[in-house]
Amino acid sequence: MQATLHQLKVFEATARHGSFTRAAEELFITQPTVSSQIKQLSKAVGLPLFEQIGKRLYLTEAGAELLVTCQDIFQRLDNFEMKVADFKGTKQGCLRLAVITTAKYFIPRILGSFCQRYPGIDVSLKVTNHQQIQTRMQNNEDDLYIVSQPPEDLELTYQPFLENPLVVIARRDHPLANWPQVPLAKLNNEAFIMREKGSGTRQAVQQLFAQYGVEVQVRLELGSNEAIKQAIIGGLGISVLSEHTLISEGPHSELAVLNVEQFPIQRRWYVAHLSGKQLSVIARAFLEYLLEESQKMPKPSSLLRSNVLIPAHVSP
């Protein structure tokens, strides 16, 4: 097969976008150049690579197989470039991370100091919920993942590195905010703001409520921790969120952590990657850096207590 690396790049971009035009835009070439490169590549393969139905392009079976091969080749070439940079004593290349929503409260800070140490690195950071991360893992889209619950049906290598407790959050003037200990049953019939389907937080909350027969009234579903905090302040109800979501709240926060029985739900963050994946030099460097730096981070509850978000009578 007489395919050039350039043709493979054009093919990969076209397959990713499902469009000749968008591939042309990304690669700064014209649309007719893209279609002629694809035509030549199909000729070299001896089979069509795309089917056009309406305006949309679909990969044929041969096209899908070629896409996997291209992704493998480009990843190896990227790794090779990073290794060469490493041999030369510099770290260069791209680090692809995907993290669950709660990790956005600390990962950008760690990334900041990591990038200062290695200025030649580009970072792509995707922040999304548990289910979306799982899909990205299945598609081998990133180098490293941060999750609270490593999916069991995927072959992953992972290690825990920080606690990620889930707590009950209410508005500061909520009647239960001054209770030294709130029985779990008190949550029955409370107006509740729930994270969206596919969220790991939601899964953990529903599991605990089902186990103890708690029936809250779900008034609102929201796909963002920050939006939930605003909805609590707006008086729409209480919710359960990671304690880390409160880290930037100051002493005048309008939120309080309720001291409810069975809470916090103890969870941890794990840094994970696909077991078969050969980690790039940069991904390995970041993994080590993350494990080292996270040991130095204060626990969220110590920050919260100093911010008086937890009622004063709760002993530290």
Give contact residues for ligand PGA (rule: CB under 6 A).
Answer: 100-102, 129-130, 148, 164, 195, 199-201, 242
Helix%, strand%, coil% for the chain, nearest 5: 45, 25, 30
- Residue placing its CB nearer to ligand PGA in the complex, 103 or 260: 103
Q: Shortest Cβ distance from residue 20 to ligand PGA (Å)?
A: 36
- Residue placing its CB nearer to ligand PGA in the complex, 117 or 197: 197
- Residue placing its CB nearer to ligand PGA in the complex, 41 or 271: 271
Burial of 93 (0-12, 13-18, 19+ CB in 10 A): buried
Pairing relationship of beta strands 50-53 and 56-59 according to DSSP bridges: antiparallel
- Residue placing its CB nearer to ligand PGA in the complex, 149 or 253: 149
Q: What is the radius of gyration, based on Cα positions, of the chain?
A: 24
Q: Shortest Cβ distance from residue 184 to ligand PGA (Å)?
A: 21
Shortest-Cβ-distance residue relative to ligand PGA = 200
Q: DSSP string spanning 14-30?
A: HHHHT-HHHHHHHHTS-
Q: Shortest Cβ distance from residue 83 to ligand PGA (Å)?
A: 34
Asked whether the beta carbons of 246 and 300 are under 8 A apart, the reply is yes
Closest by CA to 218, choosing from 185, 177, 227, 209, is: 209
Pairing relationship of beta strands 217-222 and 56-59 according to DSSP bridges: unpaired
Q: Shortest Cβ distance from residue 256 to ligand PGA (Å)?
A: 21
- Residue placing its CB nearer to ligand PGA in the complex, 15 or 240: 240
Asked whether the beta carbons of 157 and 284 are under 8 A apart, the reply is no
Q: Shortest Cβ distance from residue 142 to ligand PGA (Å)?
A: 16
